[in-house]
Copies of this chain bind each other. A is one copy, B any other.
């Protein structure tokens, strides 16, 4: 059965990792995202989604095989975007290990704050069947590995003090992902100011040298 591309083509334009364009989800994915956020994966039916979109269930099945396929498509849009933004943030940082780590933290916090809904789906990824779960877990692990790489490089360069880099990377990702659970778009704190605070917190977490901490507090990355 033919399936259209899950994500509409993004409009061309300036794309930076700090201010990426909106994800431009198809109407089906956009309404599905709302449904999953409001009633969870198990509490959402294909019928609910079709009603929200304003199409029939058979029309929905023309685009997506089943509910799981929609959920997989959303998770995939999210993790693919995260990965792409992280790579841009790393390129932008150049070779300095501390700058690479800090850009990655900023990039991840901004994503969690600017994309609370789709980022929050991650907490349900264990509902997936083994095959899809493995595929998503592998992509998630790639992102964790990017962060771990910057921590390890910082330790090797003598600018970080970390006893267990892998645990620290996982702990930091947990800390950063939690932003998607409490951040209120349009609230007291902007995504930018949350990111700045988390830079300082994360720099401490990896035992950054006083010189790196001064750079963070002074707003300079290199």
Contact = CB atoms under 8 A, between A and B. Distances in A.
A45 B86 CA distance: 41
Interface size class of A (residues with CB under 8 A): 35 or more
Given A40-B124, A181-B123, A205-B201, A175 B171 contact: yes
Q: Is the interface of A mostly helix, strand, loop or mixed?
A: helix
Contact of A207 (B124, B181, B198, B204): B204
Contacts of A198: 167, 171
Contacts of A168: 201
Q: Which of A39, A40, A44, A205 has the most CB of B within 10 A?
A: A205
Contacts of A181: 123, 174
Interface of A: 39-44, 123-124, 161-164, 167-168, 170-179, 181-182, 194, 197-198, 200-201, 204-207, 217
Contacts of A175: 171-172, 174-175, 178
Contact of A201 (B167, B177, B179, B200): B167
Nearest to A204: B207
Contact of A40 (B41, B167, B178): B41
Nearest to A194: B167
Nearest to A217: B163
Given A40-B41, A42-B42, 18 more contacts: A39-B42, A40-B40, A42-B43, A43-B43, A123-B181, A161-B204, A162-B204, A163-B197, A164-B200, A168-B201, A170-B178, A171-B198, A174-B174, A174-B176, A177-B178, A204-B204, A204-B207, A205-B205
Nearest to A164: B197
A181 B181 CA distance: 14
A110 to B, nearest CB: 15
A197 B205 CA distance: 12
Contact of A170 (B167, B172, B174, B182): B182
30 contacts: A40-B40, A40-B42, A41-B43, A42-B43, A42-B44, A123-B123, A163-B197, A163-B200, A163-B217, A164-B200, A164-B201, A167-B194, A167-B198, A167-B201, A170-B182, A171-B178, A171-B198, A171-B201, A172-B175, A174-B174, A174-B175, A174-B177, A174-B178, A174-B179, A174-B181, A175-B175, A177-B178, A204-B206, A204-B207, A205-B205
